[in-house]
Amino acid sequence: MTGPQTFSKLSPESLDEHRLIHFHLDQLERAVEQLAANPADPEMLRTIAVRIDSFKDRLEEHFAHEEDGGLLQGVQDALPQAESDVKRIRAQHARMAESLERVRAIARRGDDAEISVLGVELRRLIAMIREHEQEEDSLVKRALKQA
């Protein structure tokens, strides 16, 4: 693949897209904190469910954009030696999507008995996604230096 085609997949805008993911994660973290402070608030649980739904849509779109000949292909084109890193990132996408679906189901049920479980699982998921995004950002920056 030629340099300009690779670069279009590995533009600094790729990193901007990751900032948007972090924005959604920040929103979820605040909602979880508010729920922990007032677990008896049924409206807060509905708010979290809506935020999870919105984030799920955004994250699926983000993953598809990265995987379908986009960012990850650009990384692999620029850094052929990063094939195992790209495979690991794709596997992480699948695990994160599964985890997000689990917390989404918990939030949608709206069961007061599951509020603490929701908080724990959502915090775990947020940490996992943040770590993943940092790893991707690092890989993109390495690839941009090569492109």
- What residue spans define the domains of the chain? 3-146
Across 113-118, average pLDDT: 90
Residue range 4-31: mean pLDDT, rounded: 72
More confident residue, 17 or 124: 124
Lowest mean pLDDT among 4-8, 78-82, 125-129: 4-8
Q: Based on the number of CB atoms within 10 Å of its own CB, is 35 exposed (0-12), middle (13-18) or buried (19 or more)?
A: buried
* Chain mean pLDDT for the chain: 85
Phi/psi for 108 (5° steps) reads -70, -30
* Secondary structure class of 51 (helix, strand, coil): helix
Residue 48 main-chain phi, psi, to 5 deg: -65, -45
- Residue 42 CA to residue 110 CA, distance in Å, equals 8
Task: Indicate the pTM of the whole model.
Answer: 0.84
Hey, what CATH topology would domain 3-146 get? Four Helix Bundle (Hemerythrin (Met), subunit A) (1.20.120)
Confidence class for position 8, pLDDT limits 50, 70, 90: low
